[in-house]
Amino acid sequence: MENSAALPARTRFTTEDDITAEVLRRFERTDDPRLRKIMLSLTKHIHAFVKDVRLKESEWWNAIEFLTATGQMFG
């Protein structure tokens, strides 16, 4: 996957939808078509889920820790 350039310091996202749109825009540049499709879909679903359940930052980090531990057990 191609690395994206850092955003200019003046860039501001005003809504959750702005953030989602920017992430999707960056994944559009992914070279591998299958990986691009997976990452675009994953991003849309995760962002919708976070918005739907009003996920708190601490809950997000708990989920990341759980998924990391699961991956390490079976990886």
Encode pLDDT of 24-50 as tens digits.
Answer: 999 999 999 999 999 999 999 999 999
- Whole-number Å distance between alpha carbons of 29 and 75: 28
CB atoms within 10 A of CB 28: 10
Residue 5 lies in a domain: no
- Provide the residue range defining the domain that includes 53: 16-74
CB atoms within 10 A of CB 27: 20
Residue 50 lies in a domain: yes
Q: Is the pLDDT reported for residue 22 higher than 60?
A: yes
Residue 54 lies in a domain: yes
pLDDT band at 74 (very low <50, low <70, confident <90, very high): confident
pLDDT band at 9 (very low <50, low <70, confident <90, very high): low
The DSSP element (H or E) to which 53 belongs, if any, is helix 33-53
pLDDT band at 16 (very low <50, low <70, confident <90, very high): confident
Residue 4 lies in a domain: no
| Prediction pTM value | 0.68
